[in-house]
Amino acid sequence: MITAIIPAHNEAETLPATIASLRAQTTNPDRILVVSDNSTDETPEVAKACGAEVIETVDNTARKAGALNQALETLPREGLVLVMDADTQLVPHWIDTALTALEDPNVGAAGAVFQAAPPTNYLELCQHLEWARYAEEGARTRKTLVLSGTAALIRWEALETVRNHTGRWYSTESITEDMEITMALKATGWELRSPTGCQAVTETMPSIRMLFLQRRRWNLGALQNITTHWGSPVARPYIRQQIMLAVSVTLLWALILLTLISLALNGPTVPQPLWLAIGAVFVTERVLSIWDQPIRYRLFAALVIPELVYALVLQAAYIAAVWQKTTGSTGVWAHLTPTTDKELADVRH
């Protein structure tokens, strides 16, 4: 038995496409359950009109994790649970591909490889290419660092193992519940997969401000989860990842600063052959890592500078997250609300 759970806060606009993608699966879920969490729009009515079952959360202040836990409490502890975002569409063979991965009894869950819709502007293109590189790295390394919150098919047995070990399914203390459940599943001995065929299309951020808030939350959540699992072998690759991220941020900002100082003191100079060679290697990597993308996207990547500007926004969000963690902030959930013309809603649900 497969039960699809879709936590939704004010997702009346996106729900029809999400539910339609579940109906279009070559293997359909047995139940589709929409969890309306403090919605003020027509999310429950739209979900029912699409043929889904609906429950509404009660006094939930723990965001998506709290909504999921309340939904899980209503279900029989058997079969599989497909947890997916209300703004995501799955390819038709998604469930079948995930089921193939779960034929291995050691695999507790299979997650989505998410991608963006065809981009229409600079910011969407940068996010599209970032996610394409993330998918390429996952396919190459066959590692699942995060069981993506966009969609994941999880064994009930695996969820129960986590609950027996920690006293809960999803951590209400984490602002990135998908990464935390990933670490919890690994800590209890389960293997995870992100098959390349489990593709999902999800929303991108429409503005620099929304992108900054999203990535600040992601980075703060990662730091919170590492702290929670500190001392566990499961945390080691994530700690290494954070160290490399900190090094890359330091090096990039130092390079920019030193370049500006050099220009101010010496004026424009002819680049040295060594730096030209290093630059050529960097450009080659940026292009090859998205080689399956259209040629116009590869040409865009070869320009380097546009994506470098985008990287600075992401790194600024990382620095802000480190500051939040240092000062003890628990963060807020910056939610994209399509029904209000994509304005920022600070949702504490």
Per-domain residue ranges of the chain: 2-207, 238-347
Burial class (CB in 10 A: 0-12, 13-18, 19+), 226: buried
Sequence-separated (6 or more) residues with CB below 8 Å from residue 180: 65, 170, 171, 174, 221, 224, 225, 228
In Å, how far from its chain's centre is CA 106? 24
Sequence-separated (6 or more) residues with CB below 8 Å from residue 44: 34, 36, 54, 56
Asked if the model's pLDDT at residue 338 lies above 80, the reply is: no
Asked if the model's pLDDT at residue 339 lies above 50, the reply is: no
Asked if the model's pLDDT at residue 258 lies above 90, the reply is: no
Q: What is the predicted pLDDT for the residue at 343?
A: 33
Mean pLDDT, all residues of the chain: 89
Asked if the model's pLDDT at residue 274 lies above 90, the reply is: no
Asked whether the beta carbons of 147 and 114 are under 8 A apart, the reply is no
For the ranges 59-63, 79-83, 145-149, 302-306, the maximum mean pLDDT occurs at 79-83
Taking residue 103's Cβ as centre, other Cβ atoms within 10 Å add up to: 7
What DSSP line would sit under 158-172, residue for residue?
A: HHHHHHHHHSSSS-T
pTM (two decimals): 0.87
**pLDDT, greater one: 283 or 348:** 283
Question: Was domain 2-207 assigned CATH 3.90.550.10?
Answer: yes
Q: What is the predicted pLDDT for the residue at 215?
A: 94
Residues 258-281: what's their mean pLDDT? 77
pLDDT tens across 213-243, in order?
A: 999 999 999 999 999 999 899 999 999 999 9
In Å, how far from its chain's centre is CA 85? 10
Burial class (CB in 10 A: 0-12, 13-18, 19+), 271: exposed
Residues 27-47: what's their mean pLDDT? 94
Q: What is the predicted pLDDT for the residue at 334?
A: 55
pLDDT band at residue 303 under the 50/70/90 scheme: very high
Taking residue 322's Cβ as centre, other Cβ atoms within 10 Å add up to: 18
Residues 51-58: what's their mean pLDDT? 94
